Structure 1
Amino acid sequence: MIGAGPKIHPIPSHTQTNIFAVNYANLTLRETILPHNVPLVQVCAAYPFYVHDMSSIKWIFFFIPITFLGCQPSSSSVIPDQSGCNTPFDPSRDYFPVQIQPEEAEGFSVTYHRNYKLVKVIRAWPGTSKTFTYVLKVCGAPMPKVSSDAVVTIPVQKMITTSTTQLPGLQQLGVLEKWVGHAGKSFITLPTLVAKAQTVAEVGSQELDTEKILGLKPDLVMGYAMGAPTDIHHKLRPLPISVVLNGEFAESSPLARTEWIKFMALFFNKEAQANLVFNGLKQRYRALQEMHELGPKPVVFTGSYFNGNWYVAGSNSFMSHLIRDAGATYAIQDTAATLTLDFEGVLGRTKNATHWIGTVPFKDEAAIRQTDGRFVMLPSARKGAYFAYDGRFFEAAVLEPDV
């Protein structure tokens, strides 16, 4: 609570997931979402938000270093294959009467044709200029004469995921039964997804199990990339598997990330459901945003200090958007780039901050002081205006920016 006494207030992430809802009486905080276990240097280059493992006192990331680029050349003359199709292909039919178009998201686009969709991922990771093109064709339809990075037969019947942030979208679209494999099941935290994951194959937490992937015979592996030489797309490229990159984490605004549920819907022909979910969420989000435009504006800063560095999100980051949309002021105003600061640098830039959002669930001021005695020099720490979160926060936040 803003204005409360010296008690520390960890955020219960199972009830509050993703947007700052900041006003004079209340503070509800959300954090960014990235794929899991990306090396620190890569994470900081994008968005510096991470979680602290108190048992081992080391930084862990809820991302697995698995990135994939599917590459399947399209054929100019392929005889339609009707085998395995639920219904015979009808060349006279327009298969996509309900369509989607992104309104907030900038990282993907889609054009519709009678029996296929041409999907482009324009920004698969922050800073890239490479566009990935995917053909999503109706089962049994002829192969369109389009060059692409991967061809996916839709609606997808069997899907493998590689980030927990992809899972709530499947749940909202009502297609969890299509989920057959996941890379890093131990990172799944939401109870309904944990239960479902018991029936889903583990395809590798640190390294992909290509034999298991092949054995599952997926229609689609949804991956992500960071643009690093160590991306593991080289390992999957020779396999007869369609791999698509999801770039939701590269979006800088909460609604833009949420709108990637439309991207997920494209593979299941669930456009109507995606439009319903997103439009309702956007309306609620905007209403909250307008409500918090008036009244006092707390000053908020983010991050934690570890091994001599404090990684601070810039003024155009996902976190700064959350803070401003919630009616607060973000402490870092002078740069859009991610900053790496020493403690003195942070102290100088945040001396007027009234609230601190960290990554360590301190129980009280004594715990803060024990970790690093200098923390109490921060006004927000002395006032007890410290907030933290745990891993569940990352998983659920994409589709709940209005909570």
Structure 2
Amino acid sequence: MKIRLLALLFMFCLFACQNTKVKKTVIISSKNSIRYASGLSIQKFNQYSVVTVSNPWPTAKKNYTYILHQKGVVLPDSLQKFTKIQVPIQSIVVTSTTHIPALELLGVEKSLVGFPNTDYVSSQKTRALIDAKKVREIGTNQSLNNEVLLDMQPDVIIGFGVDGEKKTYDQLQQNGLKILYNGDWTEQHPLGRAEWIQLFGVLFGMEEKANLVFKTIEKDYLEAVELAQKAHSKPTIFSGAIYQDQWYLPQGKSWAAQFLENAHGNYLWAASEGTGSLSLSFETVLEKAEKADFWIGPGQFTSFEQIEKANPNYQYFKAVQNRNVYSFSSKKGKTGGVIYYELASSRPDLVLKDLIKILHPELLPEYELYFFEKLK
């Protein structure tokens, strides 16, 4: 009897000790590791991470939470209601060109198995995969080909939305596919968009590499900001162009306007509230920007000939007369995709250096423009 009692006590102690050990090692850190991106939160625990996307599109009314877990992990009951994705993943479908640089920076571009409208992809690495039929065409982002996606069975689909229309994604999820929304494009801080590489780092079990890549970009960006402050002038700038009788240009708190401010430029609409676009008449823009030093980002124009044909009144701007117009639309990939639209959000350091070179060439005498070109 005494021996049996001792045996029971030993088993109880062993069981209790094992449980105590598990409880002590479950949580590594519940603190959000994201610093610049306002719409992304990553909380790391032992063998799983809690990812929350709070602003995948401007009108989003709810947060989307995902549990990225290692194989065989028993998750707490409180997490069972969320979408669960086993990591590291082996195959992925992304739906915006802004997602592709993250894959390439991590060296996992070969895991990409599908993309909508592949002609928009500019990167040479990913274009080579597309040309080799390693990446399948899955329709358009507004009308994904469900049959192809169900046949492919990727480990995860990175969803992209503009207005909250997600019927197709809901159907795919109901059929067992994993959908994870990405809201990088809604970020207004230049480093906020680049920081979304951390999401891909968690998906591929490459957190350390993703963190290293981002820290390098962050360092280069902040050093460029500091360099720009040494400029002795602050040139005046306007942006945008006419579309359907209205001139659309960035609002003062927008992603694009933040770059101009950090490059030590005087963006003439910097004081305007909002993070989207202003819609103004031609006369309103001309009145304020007629004497501006630079026109940066003139819509899709890639030459002065196009500008003159589109609207002869553009000639009244001093920046046009002095040929101080710079565009990112002329640099394209093999199939016509604009490189800036794909890569700029992941490499804000290069965007900022371009603008510093344009506004203050004496600060970067050896630097060559990466995204922008001076119109001819």
Partner in structure 2 of residue 328 of structure 1: 265
Q: How does 1:168-317 map to 2 (within 5 A)?
A: 168-198=101-131, 199-205=134-140, 207-229=143-165, 232-294=168-230, 295-317=232-254
Shift of 1:325: 1.0
Q: Displacement of 1:97 after TM fit?
A: 7.5
Give 1:349 shift: 3.0
Alignment partners' CA distance in 2, 1:275 and 1:268: 13
Q: What is aligned with 1:318?
A: 255
Number of the residue aligned with 1:345: 284
Tell me by how many angstroms 1:221 deviates. Answer: 0.2
Asked if the contact 2:257/2:270 (under 8 Å) is kept, the reply is: no
| TM-score, normalised by the number of residues in structure 2 | 0.77
Change (3 A) 1:209 1:102: same
* Residue 37 (structure 2) pairs with residue 105 (structure 1): yes
1:157 corresponds to which residue? 90
112-121 or 126-135: which moved more?
A: 126-135
Deviation sequence 1:248-295 (CA, Å, 0-9, x none): 101001111101111121111111001111111111111111111132
Q: Which residue of 2 aligns with 1:361?
A: 301
- The answer (yes or no) to whether the contact 2:150–2:172 under 8 Å persists in 1 is no
Assess, with a 3 A threshold, how the Cα gap between structure 1 residues 94 and 276 changes in structure 2: closer, same or farther.
Answer: farther
* Percentage of matched positions with identical amino acids: 25
CA contact under 8 A between 1:133 and 1:148: conserved in structure 2? no
CA contact (8 A) 1:100 1:275 kept: no
Between the aligned partners of 2:237 and 2:172, the Cα distance in structure 1 is 42
Query: Structure 1, residues 222-260: CA drift from partner, whole Å, max 9, x if none?
Result: 012223447643432322111010011010011111011
> Whole-Å Cα distance in 2 between the matches of residues 280 and 104 of structure 1?
15
Residue of structure 1 equivalent to 2:49: 117
Output one character per residue of 1:190-225: Cα deviation in whole Å (capped at 9) or x when no partner: 212211223111111252111110111111000122
Larger radius of gyration: 2
> Aligned ranges for residues 14-29 of structure 1 at < 5 Å?
none
Q: Which has the higher contact order (CA 8 A, sep 6+)?
A: 1
The 8 Å contact of residues 241 and 247 in structure 2, kept in 1 or not, is answered as yes
1:377 aligns to what? Answer: 316
Q: Which residue of 2 aligns with 1:132?
A: 64
**8 A contact 1:361–1:389 mirrored in 2:** no
Larger mean Cα displacement after TM superposition, 98-107 or 276-285 = 98-107
- Give the structure with the higher percent helix: 2
Pick one of 325, 339, 347 that aligns with 1:392.
339
1:100/1:262 contact within 8 Å kept? no
Task: Give me the whole-angstrom Cα distance separating, in 2, the residues matched to 1:184 and 1:125.
Answer: 20
Over 6 Å off, 4+ runs: 91-100
Q: Distance in 2 between matches of 1:229 and 1:215?
A: 23
Residue identity opposite 1:120 in structure 2: T
Structure 1 stretch displaced more, 223-232 or 378-387: 223-232
**Structure 1: gaps spanning 5 or more residues:** 1-90
Q: Tell me how far apart the structure 1 counterparts of residues 86 and 178 of structure 2 sit (CA, whole Å).
A: 9
CA distance in 1, matches of 2:146, 2:124: 28
Alpha-carbon distance in 2 for matches of 1:379, 1:191: 38
Output aligned runs, 1:27-66, within 5 Å: none
RMSD: 2.3
What SS does the aligned partner of 1:117 have?
Answer: strand
User: Any conservation in 1 of the 2:237–2:265 contact (CA below 8 Å)?
Assistant: yes
C-alpha contact 1:254 1:318 (8 A) present in aligned 2: yes
Segments of 5+ residues of structure 2 without an aligned counterpart are: 1-21, 330-337, 351-376
For 2:144, what is the secondary structure of its paired residue? Answer: coil
| Further displaced range: 286-295 or 204-213 | 204-213
| Equivalent residue, structure 2, for 1:85 | none
Alignment check: 8 A CA contact 1:134 1:148 kept: no
Contact 1:136 1:267 in 2 (8 A): yes
Change (3 A) 1:341 1:215: same
- Looking at structure 2, the residues matched to 222 and 303 of structure 1 have their Cα atoms a distance apart, in angstroms, of 30
Q: Distance in 2 between matches of 1:216 and 1:312?
A: 41
Cα distance in 1 for partners of 2:173, 2:120 equals 26
Determine the C-alpha separation between the residues in 2 that align with 1:194 and 1:97: 39
Partners of 1:381 and 1:150 in 2: how far apart?
Answer: 52
**Aligned pairs, how many?**
312
Spell out, residue by residue over 1:86-113, the C-alpha distance to the aligned partner (whole angstroms, 9 max, x if none).
xxxxx89969989981111111112222
One-letter amino acid of the structure 2 residue matched with residue 269 of structure 1: G
Residue 402 (str. 1) matches residue 341 (str. 2): no
User: Quick check: 1:94–1:115 contact (8 Å CA) kept in 2?
Assistant: no
| Partner-residue secondary structure (3-state), 2:52 | strand
Query: Residues 185 and 332 of structure 1: is their aligned pair in 2 closer, same or farther, counting only changes over 3 Å?
Result: same
Does the Cα contact within 8 Å between 1:220 and 1:242 map onto a contact in 2?
yes
In structure 1, C-alpha distance between the alignment counterparts of 2:159 and 2:182, rounded to whole Å = 6
Change in CA separation of 1:362 and 1:276 when aligned onto 2, cut-off 3 Å: closer
